Amino acid sequence: METQVPNQPISEETSRRITSLRFLLAVLVVFIHNNFTAESIAKTFEETGRTIPFCQNAFGQWVQLFISGGIARCAVPLFFLFAAFLQGVKNDPYPVLLKKKAKSLALPYALWMAVYVLYFGVLKLVVAKIAPQVLAHPDKTMLTMTMRDWAESLIGFYSGTGDGNPRFAMQFWFVRDLMIFTAVSPVLIKLIRKFPVGVFFCASVFYLSASISFDAHANYSVFFYIVGLYWGIFNFALFEKIDTIGWAETLCLFAATFVLSAVVPSRLSGCCATLSACLLLLKFSALISNSQKTFFVADYFSGFSFFLYAIHMPVLNELLKKLWLRFFPMTNTFFSLFEYFGVSVLTVAIGTGIGIALKKICPPLFSLLNGGRK
């Protein structure tokens, strides 16, 4: 470990491979969040007494599970991995790092939460008066929220029965946790340099341990962030090492771990499935990077990955679901899968389209909402 050389430039290959995956990972997150199951429907509508048809057969269930519970489970872990790698390899002084993260994480977090406060506050009050039937909980408005409700809605962490996500925009738990990790990163980096084996061992044990009630994502977010710091600090050739693994071995490993996690769900099988999915996507990035036309498209849309991540939930996707199901109720397997792919594609198209239009119409506002990312 004495060979670590901090502050090294990022190789062009590594930069291209990371860029190749950014937008794809955001798309996979959309598929994760638009994943109707019998259990999710029952949980969503248990308080209202409403029901919606969901007639899915085993084939449809496996299709959704393969995407949302298989390939897509690597999306957020890889976001943590890339963010930590870039931080570790750049090795910015702590004040500079905090200034950068204030612009790229804290400011867009505050702005997007303000947007969703307006939606859940002012707009929901209006809709609750005019058309309460379109709302899942028309009686729960900004006027009935307690201080704890506000804390759970804006920050998360406080829910004893939930997963610790901010209720106003559940996907922003990633930004929240990344800000916390950034704040304590100097300590983590010192520990990694002094006790490289010990820190990795502790992170691995934590990754395999039971979920923490106030933040159900803490196990893998901590693990992949720390692994990303290792990658950045010691700047080893991760993609080159992954490329030495054959496609046959990669696909067989993913298939085996995916089936195991689906048939025998456990913490261990789930962790193995996530790791193999990460390996599959990291290897797949070579196919995108090596094709000039494909990479050109991926490079362009990579600038909208954070924007899509921020805008897709909860308003856009939920509204599209409601509108879609009015015309195409999930009365059989075809319509169940039609909703799964149709709403997901529409969410990606509309969310990205809004970002493209906003960037052209008002670049400063787009930059603020996108964390300064171009």
Residues with Cβ within 8 Å of residue 100, at least 6 apart in sequence:
92
Task: Tell me what the mean pLDDT of segment 200-219 comes to.
Answer: 87
Tokens standing for residue 247? 């496609």
Segment 332-348, tens digit of pLDDT: 999 999 999 999 999 99
CA distance 89 to 189: 11
B/e letters for 271-309, b = 16+ CB within 10 Å, e = fewer, are: bbbbbbbbbbbbbbbbebbeeeeebeebbebbbbbbbbb
Q: Are 173 and 156 in contact (CB under 8 A)?
A: yes
| Digit-coded pLDDT (tens) for 113-159 | 999 888 877 777 777 778 776 666 677 777 778 888 888 889 987 65
* C-alpha–C-alpha distance, residues 348 and 23, integer Å: 10
Helix, strand, coil in percent for the chain, rounding step 5:
75, 0, 25
Compute φ and ψ for 212, nearest 5 degrees: -90, 130
Residue 279's contacts (CB-CB under 8 Å, 6 or more residues apart) are 242, 245, 250, 253, 254
Percent of the chain scoring above 90 in pLDDT: 72
- CA–CA separation, 16 and 302 (whole Å): 11
The pLDDT, as a whole number, for residue 160 is 56
Q: How far apart are CA 235 and CA 85, in angstroms?
A: 8
Over residues 153-169, mean pLDDT? 78
d(CA 278, CA 172): 21
Give the pLDDT confidence score for residue 259 in this predicted structure: 96
Residue 91 neighbours by CB distance under 10 Å: 15
- Binned at pLDDT 50, 70 and 90, residue 50 comes out as low
Task: Report H helices in 12-74.
Answer: 12-33, 38-45, 58-68
- Which residue from 117, 108, 110 is spatially nearest to 145, judged by alpha carbons? 117
> Which is more confidently placed, 124 or 226?
226
Q: Is there a contact between 33 and 312 (Cβ–Cβ < 8 Å)?
A: yes
Q: Which residues are CB-neighbours of 365 under 8 A, at least 6 positions away?
A: 358
- What are the tens digits of pLDDT across the range 69-121? 999 999 999 999 999 999 999 989 999 999 999 999 999 999 999 998 888 77
Lowest mean pLDDT among 132-146, 174-188, 305-319: 132-146
Burial class of residue 4, CB neighbours in 10 A (0-12, 13-18, 19+)? middle
- Sequence-ordered list of residues with C-beta below 8 angstroms from that of 140, at least 6 positions apart, any chain: none
For the cut 80, the answer to whether the pLDDT of residue 210 exceeds it is no
For residues 220-241, average pLDDT:
95
Single-letter amino acid code for the residue at 198: G
Residues paired with 330 in a beta bridge: 54
Say whether pLDDT at 1 is over 50.
no
Q: How confident is the model at residue 161 (pLDDT cuts 50, 70, 90)?
A: low
Contact predicate 25/78, CB 8 Å: yes
Compute the CA torsion angle 307, 336, 50, 43 (nearest 10 deg).
-60
Rounded Cα distance, 100 and 333, in Å = 47
User: Residue 98 has which token pair?
Assistant: 């905090």
Residue 306 has pLDDT above 70, yes or no: yes
Average pLDDT, the chain: 90
Burial code (b: 16+ CB inside 10 Å, e: under 16) for 167-182 equals bbbbbbbbbbbbbebb
Residue 47 has pLDDT above 60, yes or no: no
Residue 314's pLDDT band (boundaries 50, 70, 90)?
confident
What does the alpha-carbon distance between residue 247 and residue 365 come to, in Å, rounded to a whole number? 43
- CA pair distance 219, 207, nearest whole angstrom: 5
Averaged pLDDT, 39-57: 74
